[in-house]
Amino acid sequence: MNVAVGLARLDIPTTLVSQVGHDERGGLIVQHVTSSEVEVVAVPTSSGSTSVATAHLSEDGAARYDFDLEWNLPRQPLPACRALHVGSLGTLLEPGRDSVLDLVEQAVARDVFVSYDANLRESFVEDRDRTRRQVHELASRCSLVKLSDEDALLIDPAADPDDVARSLLSGERTRLVLLTRGAAGATAFSAAGQTSARPRQVEMIDTVGAGDAFMAGTLAQLSDLDSFRRPGPGVPVGDEEVTRLLRGAMEVAAITCERRGANPPRRGELPPGWPA
């Protein structure tokens, strides 16, 4: 949802396929999404209740989460689209995970650009080996993969996060892996090598939605570059292009961190000339 809202606020036409309940929270979610001009394909939950993630903020604005989730999304036809993005617990939790994988397979069959943000949560990583296999299985179907340094540690706590990110380049379709490091910036890995960038100084309020804002900023730039229409996966790999991509995405995330909650900026709120 946060990625869909972030993209729509950056003037990228976006459809969200998800599951909400027939309750007050569900109504608020649909209102929040549609107010940012996101189209919604909302499948009702079997219980009628909407899933809840409760954020608990530390003194430095970092968030930890408690979850009460229902995820049994039935299989859906992939809407007409230029790109498909999937991520977080929707790609991990059964039985809805199977429907997400089916959407990915439909996109691959149509040669549609697919991106994936692992966005793992420790409380849902009960079998680390299984989670690692699931992440690699899905990443191999995607042109662009994003993970945080915290995701990398959950995937393999004994490995360097850079090595975890590089390992995801082994997928047949994967061309670019982005590893975010919070205030330390982000690194992009491709067959051509790696490129890093750091964000500007941020007046931190909280980190809720920062990773999703980074993802939305990345995809919006790729849309602006017409990367989704190029033959094959058209992600940039040159140092200058990738540095610009990272800085543009970090600026969207920085503005989000300077606000309360997951409230990504609209394009008109970005610095003039963004993403330069």
Contact 6, 264 (CB under 8 A): yes
Task: Give the per-residue pLDDT at 276.
Answer: 75
Task: Give the per-residue pLDDT at 58.
Answer: 84
Residue 193 counted as domain residue: yes
Residue 38 has pLDDT above 80, yes or no: yes
HSE (CB half, 13 Å, CA atoms) of 94?
Answer: 4
Task: Give the per-residue pLDDT at 234.
Answer: 64
Q: Please give the structure tokens belonging to residue 9.
A: 């606020």
Task: Give the per-residue pLDDT at 230.
Answer: 62
Contact 137, 167 (CB under 8 A): no
Residue 76 counted as domain residue: yes
| Distance from C-alpha of 14 to C-alpha of 10, rounded to nearest angstrom | 10
Residue 32 counted as domain residue: no
State mean pLDDT over 107-131: 92
* CB burial of residue 224 (10 Å; 0-12, 13-18, 19+): middle
Nearby residues of 146 by Cβ (< 8 Å), 6 or more positions away: 87, 115, 116, 117, 118, 177, 178, 179, 180, 211, 214, 215, 218
Q: How many domains, the chain? A: 1
Taken in order 45, 131, 249, 53, the sign of the CA dihedral is: positive
Q: What is the CATH number of the domain that holds 116?
A: 3.40.1190.20
Q: Please give the structure tokens belonging to residue 98.
A: 């199977």
| Distance from C-alpha of 229 to C-alpha of 227, rounded to nearest angstrom | 5
Average pLDDT, the chain: 93
Q: Which of 63-67, 164-168, 268-272 has the lowest mean pLDDT?
A: 63-67
State mean pLDDT over 80-104: 95
Task: Give the per-residue pLDDT at 256.
Answer: 97
> Between residues 53 and 112, which one has the greater pLDDT?
112
Residue 126 has pLDDT above 90, yes or no: no
The alpha helices in 110-160, defined as continuous H runs, are: 128-139, 149-155
Per-residue pLDDT reduced to its tens digit, 237-264: 788 999 999 999 999 999 999 999 999 9
CA 156 to chain CA centroid, Å, is 20
Residue 36 counted as domain residue: no
Per-residue pLDDT reduced to its tens digit, 176-228: 999 999 999 999 999 999 999 999 999 999 999 999 999 999 999 999 999 98
Q: Which residue bears the tokens 């397979």? A: 105
Helix-helix angle 239-257:210-224, to 10 degrees: 140
Taking residue 111's Cβ as centre, other Cβ atoms within 10 Å add up to 11
Residue 136 counted as domain residue: yes
pTM of the predicted structure, to 2 decimals: 0.92
State mean pLDDT over 15-21: 94
Residue 276 counted as domain residue: no
Domain of residue 263 covers 55-269
Per-residue pLDDT reduced to its tens digit, 127-184: 999 999 999 999 999 999 999 999 999 999 999 999 999 999 998 899 999 999 999 9
Residue type, 96: G
Contact 271, 259 (CB under 8 A): no
Contact 144, 189 (CB under 8 A): no
Taking residue 89's Cβ as centre, other Cβ atoms within 10 Å add up to 19
Task: Give the per-residue pLDDT at 184.
Answer: 95
Taking residue 272's Cβ as centre, other Cβ atoms within 10 Å add up to 5
Residue 265 counted as domain residue: yes
Residue 41 counted as domain residue: no
